[in-house]
Amino acid sequence: RTQDSIAMQLLSILFLVSIGVPHSTGFTAGGARYFRVPQISRLCSRNLAPLLGDSGGRFSMSDQSTVTKEKALNADFAQAQSLGIILGEKLTKCTVQKQALPEKEMDALKALLSHSDGARGFYVTTLTMPEFDSAFPSEGVSPSLKSAVVASAEPNAKLLTMNLAMSTAMILAHKENGSEEFAAGSELTQCRTKAVISSVLADMPRLRLELRALLAAASGEKGEDEALHEEYAKFLTRWGYGEEQRKVIAKVIADQIAGVL
């Protein structure tokens, strides 16, 4: 992998969510359990080490064994990832058993998704870790997750929209580079993002607006909201998405919103 490619992957992770197959490497030091930020793959996690530094991407799980509304509300990005792992495990179990999240965990999930650091940390784990497959069934996410996302249009509408674009674009980029493992990871993230979006779209006007704005920007058309259209036009340019990537992004969004908008 070239250094530029690795750096681009890292920036994508830090900006929103991991775009490939995640891998959390753990170790124990000083009586506390640490986990590295979920990486795009086992290979890439090794290559990212020099870029992250010795302490980059680490956070302690020693005080995160339980989740509370207060912890979720005050979590920074790294702490939100550890909480996301815990809540992801509980969501997966409850989804399989067709049960709602217990009240305490539900309050924590809503609190975590109510602010940008919390939502990004939650998505960087739950949308990428293979262990959480059962939390994202093809028929739609659980009512608990749906309720938590819908409760906070800000920041979830924009994060889900951008994540759909980034994972979609990276599927094409990885396949063009012959990186099937990375492409599979991006497809996993894309599928889970689509599952969340399809479950909440009818109840989130802001998400519909964000998706329409990105669709217009990716298609080279004029958007209904000038400021939002400009924001997404800059987003596509900033991440260097070419014509083919913009086409696949537009198609995925058009398919996603068909019958709803």
CA–CA separation, 196 and 232 (whole Å): 21
3-state secondary structure of 248: helix
Identify the helix (H) or strand (E) that includes residue 28: strand 26-29
Task: Say if residues 107 and 148 touch (Cβ distance below 8 Å).
Answer: no
The whole model's pTM is what? 0.78
pLDDT score at 90: 96
Per-residue pLDDT tens digits of the chain, which is 261 residues long: 434 443 344 444 444 433 333 333 332 233 333 333 333 333 333 232 222 233 333 333 434 458 999 999 999 999 999 999 999 999 999 999 999 999 999 999 999 999 999 999 999 999 999 999 999 997 889 999 999 999 999 999 999 999 999 999 999 999 999 999 999 999 999 999 999 999 999 999 999 999 999 999 999 998 889 999 999 999 999 999 999 999 999 999 999 998 775
Pairing of strands 58-60, 26-29: unpaired
Q: Strands, DSSP E only, in 43-189?
A: 58-60
28 phi, psi to nearest 5 deg: -115, 135
* Per-residue pLDDT tens over the stretch 212-227: 999 999 999 988 899 9
Compute the 3-state secondary structure of the chain and give helix, strand, coil in percent, each to the nearest 5. 65, 5, 30
pLDDT score at 183: 94
CA–CA separation, 149 and 143 (whole Å): 10
Contacts of 21 (CB under 8 A, 6+ apart): 40, 41, 42, 128, 130, 181, 182, 184, 185, 188
78-100 in b/e form (b: 16+ CB < 10 A) is bbbbbbbbbbbbbbbebbeeeee
